[in-house]
Amino acid sequence: MPADEVPAEIAAALNESAFGLLQLEGVNGIDVGVDEADEYTLRLLVSNPDDPPGGLPDSIGGFAYILVAGTPQLEQGGIPDQQTYGMPGRDPIMGGIQLGPAAIVGGDVHAGTLGCVFRDPAGFPVAVSNAHVICGAVGDAIQQPAPQTDPAPTIERLGSLQQCLAPDTPSLFPGGLVSGSFDAALCSVDGARTAEVGRIADIGVATAISSPRIGSVVRKRGYRTGVSHGVVEGTLGAYKAHNHDGSERWMLLGQVSIVMIPDLGLNPQGVWSRSGDSGSVVVNESNEIVALHWGGDGMRGYATDFAPIAIAFGLGL
């Protein structure tokens, strides 16, 4: 069930109602999923479906809806990666490993996951992660692994920040959140670090770039959680992205949600993601890259359709 198969009336009801509903305290997002009868339905993400926020409508644009537990949180981390992948002297650079800005601010190391290495339009290797993980000023140094000393060793330099796509559109409501469709960033891979285009640690080599479909089984590798498995359950999502302190940072539009498969054999840590997994790419069963993970709340992850990101950055495998 791809997003373009969602009935136009349901998509219109979501688009017309999203901003108003997201002004209600306790409403964290709205998207399109499927109900128990496998029919498209609108879903409201709330902190606790058993204790829903006040002021909810009886219907959304004339359509019934269901409540789903969800509080999207950006997953930048600061714990050093203990994996051996990509460490200086043990290259190549690949997806699913740690990276971060070279600058250590206030004693805090900011780290996330390098999603995957692609080729830019000129054929050079470039790395993709989230804007909230590595974006500062274009040209800033990016390290792999994230720095643990200041200054960071030159041998750990990955490259420099090339481009950022982050929410920057003013809210439709006074004092509201800035909004946008991307939380993505691109950095170069310096010649001193060898890289393998398309390879993701513990997953393999990506076969193509595509878009997520509702019901698809997917997986990702974040540097904190390792490989986790889930199912795409929501599309066309408008979600409030929260910082670690619970404050609201921005609103992301046109997103997807993924629910963890409740199987400890597939997900031994019992979560889809943890802090530090931001920037992971999500792949389907055909090893196609379909989304860029930016946040989660344990059971669920939130991500951006990767096809538009690839077009915006001019990426290829």
CA angle 89, 222, 80 (to 5 degrees): 55
Sorted by sequence, the CB contacts under 8 Å of residue 311 that are 6+ apart come out as: none
Provide the pLDDT for residue 79: 45
Q: How far is CA 39 from CA 10, 34, 64, 70, 236, in A?
A: 11, 5, 12, 21, 15
Alpha helices, DSSP H, located in 111-189 = 131-134
What's the CA gap between 176 and 269, in Å, rounded? 36
Q: Is the pLDDT of residue 5 over 60?
A: yes
The mean predicted confidence, pLDDT, of the chain is: 91
Q: Is the pLDDT of residue 76 over 80?
A: no
Best mean pLDDT range from 99-113, 168-182, 263-277:
263-277
Q: Which one, of 20, 182, 155, 139, lies nearest residue 86 by Cα?
A: 155
Instruction: Convert the pLDDT of each residue in 262-311 to its tens digit.
Output: 999 999 989 999 999 999 999 999 999 999 999 999 899 999 999 999 99
Instruction: Convert the pLDDT of each residue in 209-228 to its tens digit.
Output: 999 999 999 999 999 899 99
Q: Is the pLDDT of residue 108 over 80?
A: no
Q: Is the pLDDT of residue 3 over 90?
A: no
